Structure 1
């Protein structure tokens, strides 16, 4: 008989974490050997328990899911990583795959889907949520230049302009000019709105 697939589950929300553990442990071939509440704890538990598959939330305290997957690639290269997220934007998908993740699944997927993804990545396959994959393929290109993208990423929603100017070696007036152009291109009323539009479309 084959041994159970050993799984680490990292999720900062206790209710979601417990629910996911319950879903996985219903499967006779899966065993949750460790759980973690944040990214740093995930790395520590992974080193201690050597799971076959690590299922990690994209957004966690201390170290996000992408950081966890990247670190596990270094310290436990045989451990396959799956990103589980409630923020299934195409940009997050591309970033997750670039980090070394072998699976990418939205939290809203059917309960049996996670167990299936764990099995697939353990067998050396990749899995990408089909809805998110379709969105990534049809995503429109960014209207922003590289420099405009850099400025918007630095400003985000409410960071002081003087701090951004200092970081990017620009004058505050130049940063304001960039933001005005960005707002116009994205049809946004202000930089907070522009940043949200860009994030939702995977441009920053």
Structure 2
């Protein structure tokens, strides 16, 4: 029996996945949760064979959870399920050594087969995504620019960032300006989003 935990914040999709997987004779759904914190707790409690993680669940994202599980030495097989065909996300997932990375528009049979395949030691990536593994954009940002963007993503102000990094507000603004220019975007928020999509922060 393959023991599975599902972490998906969309209630209808989570319910549908659970119902469909329960129809399989060799799959048991141990828990279904809506955020990363609950997923982490359920994984500690049940020690599942496979975790189906949505990439953008609240509190701890699917990718952060995958990294956390790997760091903790968990043997649970991880399948990321997402609507995003972004090279940065896929690269981060590969770096976290996940066993599967599937798009949500795949048929349910594909997902069920993927669960069985990862249990047999295979890695499964949606066909439409395989090509993006070879499109790895070079990160143009410096370590300091990455740092200020990451801190801004966490909600810190220019003043907070300057205080933490022992920089003047003007210097912090210069780093933002440089990052915006390099990423060819128009605002700080767009720079954060583009860097995040590419897996640079």
TM-score, structure 2 as length reference: 0.84
Q: Which runs of 5+ in 1 are unaligned?
A: none
Give the 3 Å change call, closer, same or farther, for CA 157–192 of structure 1 in structure 2: farther
Residue deviations 1:155-181, cap 9 Å, x none?
A: 239742111112222111111112222
Which residue, out of 3, 7, 25, partners 1:6?
3
CA contact (8 A) 1:86 1:108 kept: yes
Q: Which runs of 4+ in 1 moved over 4 A?
A: 70-76
Tell me the CA shift for residue 70 of structure 1: 4.3
Tell me the CA shift for residue 126 of structure 1: 1.4
Tell me the CA shift for residue 139 of structure 1: 3.0
Q: Does 1:99 align with 2:96?
A: yes
Which residue, out of 171, 174, 183, partners 1:177?
174
Q: Which has the higher mean CA deviation after the structures are superposed, 151-160 or 45-54?
A: 151-160
CA contact (8 A) 1:157 1:195 kept: no
Secondary structure of the 2:52 match is strand
Q: Which runs of 5+ in 2 are unaligned?
A: none
CA contact (8 A) 1:24 1:32 kept: yes
Give the corresponding residue for 2:187: 190
Pairs aligned (count) = 201
Tell me the CA shift for residue 193 of structure 1: 2.0
Q: Which has the higher mean CA deviation after the structures are superposed, 165-174 or 194-203?
A: 194-203
Give the corresponding residue for 2:139: 142
RMSD: 2.5
CA distance, structure 2, for counterparts of residue 17 and residue 132 of structure 1: 23
Residue deviations 1:11-33, cap 9 Å, x none?
A: 22211100111232333332222
Give the 3 Å change call, closer, same or farther, for CA 76–176 of structure 1 in structure 2: closer
Matches within 5 A, 1:79-118: 79-118=76-115
Give the 3 Å change call, closer, same or farther, for CA 132–153 of structure 1 in structure 2: farther
Tell me the CA shift for residue 121 of structure 1: 0.9
Tell me the CA shift for residue 75 of structure 1: 6.7
Give the 3 Å change call, closer, same or farther, for CA 76–161 of structure 1 in structure 2: closer
CA distance, structure 2, for counterparts of residue 115 and residue 25 of structure 1: 11
TM-score, structure 1 as length reference: 0.83
Give the 3 Å change call, closer, same or farther, for CA 200–102 of structure 1 in structure 2: same
CA distance, structure 2, for counterparts of residue 47 and residue 203 of structure 1: 29
